[in-house]
Chains A and B, each alone.
Chain A
């Protein structure tokens, strides 16, 4: 995490509204990970164990029915299934370019959201909005 600008991370959409004590709780969970072009980050159907926040790079979320969306905005999230039942990834994610992300272990993230109601409310609301928009793409006919 030492390579990252903490103030910049605090301004990412998902963390922007957090109070200082909430940020202090979430910060130790963050890991900085790198991916290379063509690397599969997530596979549809696997147990959802990690939640990701994009810092750099272009990523493709794709489904078994051939549909896909791409994400390249700093702060976009990937792997919302890690904090929503049945904790199974609903799509696959492949890096279109080299990139780096913040990774949060899903189980610990969920535990934190459940133990801190105000923080849970803030984050789950944002995650649900994103999940609904992704599910809409996946199920469109």
Chain B
């Protein structure tokens, strides 16, 4: 038994078809994965935002128009002390995003909203050139108001 007869006898054509199908399927899968890789990378680059969004789905409901924006400022005096030390170490004028980054690195909770509160309280002030300064007068005045 030789040639085509042997191939037919040993299911050669069926095996060839299966082989082609497997290879073709693998190539299609690979091309789909490569074509969608940019999406995966985009999600990876923005993972912080996506994690926050995912957490939000399982946390408190969206605030309604009439509800006040949530604030986390438990103790402005303590926050002011922490940032006073941090800014003294950083120097002035300072970059606001860098300050927030350093605060997060040092484990200060809710660094973003704390900075927002310090700006609103006049403790951190813009210098008009894109950098910020620590308002020592406002800081000392705040500490004088601190309940004993």
Interface of chain A, main secondary structure:
loop
Contact across chains for B126 and A140 when beta carbons are under 8 A apart = no
Stretch at the interface among B9-17, B93-101, B134-142: B93-101
Q: When chains A and B are docked, how far (Å) is the Cα of A97 from the Cα of B117?
A: 9
Number of A-B residue pairs with CB-CB distance less than 8 Å in the complex they form: 87
Query: Within 8 Å of chain B (Cβ to Cβ): is A13?
Result: no
Contact across chains for B113 and A69 when beta carbons are under 8 A apart = no
Query: Within 8 Å of chain A (Cβ to Cβ): is B133?
Result: no
For A67, give the chain B residue with the smallest CB separation. B130
Q: When chains A and B are docked, how far (Å) is the Cα of A137 from the Cα of B130?
A: 6
Stretch at the interface among A54-62, A75-83, A101-109, A124-132: A54-62
Query: Within 8 Å of chain B (Cβ to Cβ): is A121?
Result: no
Query: Within 8 Å of chain B (Cβ to Cβ): is A39?
Result: yes
Among A36, A39, A56, A95, the most chain B Cβ lie within 10 Å of the Cβ of A36
Query: Within 8 Å of chain B (Cβ to Cβ): is A25?
Result: no
> Within 8 Å CB of A43, what residues of B?
46
> Within 8 Å CB of A5, what residues of B?
65
In the complex, which range does the number of interface residues on chain A fall in?
A: 20 to 34
A37 and B72 in contact, given A97-B113, A137-B130 (Cβ under 8 angstroms):
yes
Contact across chains for B52 and A58 when beta carbons are under 8 A apart = no
> Within 8 Å CB of A39, what residues of B?
49, 52-53
Contact across chains for B71 and A40 when beta carbons are under 8 A apart = no
Contact across chains for B130 and A34 when beta carbons are under 8 A apart = no
> Within 8 Å CB of B111, what residues of A?
38
For A38, give the chain B residue with the smallest CB separation. B112
> Within 8 Å CB of B126, what residues of A?
69-70
Query: Within 8 Å of chain A (Cβ to Cβ): is B63?
Result: yes
Scan B72-113; emit 1 where CB is below 8 A from any A CB, else 0: 100000000000000000000001111010000000001111
> Within 8 Å CB of A97, what residues of B?
69-71, 112-113, 116
Q: When chains A and B are docked, how far (Å) is the Cα of A140 from the Cα of B129?
A: 6
B residues with a Cβ closer than 8 A to A are 46, 48-49, 52-53, 56, 62-65, 69-72, 95-98, 100, 110-113, 115-116, 119-120, 126, 129-132
For the complex of A and B, 4 pairs with smallest distance between CB atoms: A67-B130, A66-B95, A96-B116, A58-B116
Beyond the given A5-B65, A67-B130, A140-B130, please list 4 additional residue pairs across the A-B interface where CB-CB is below 8 A.
A38-B112, A58-B120, A70-B119, A72-B120
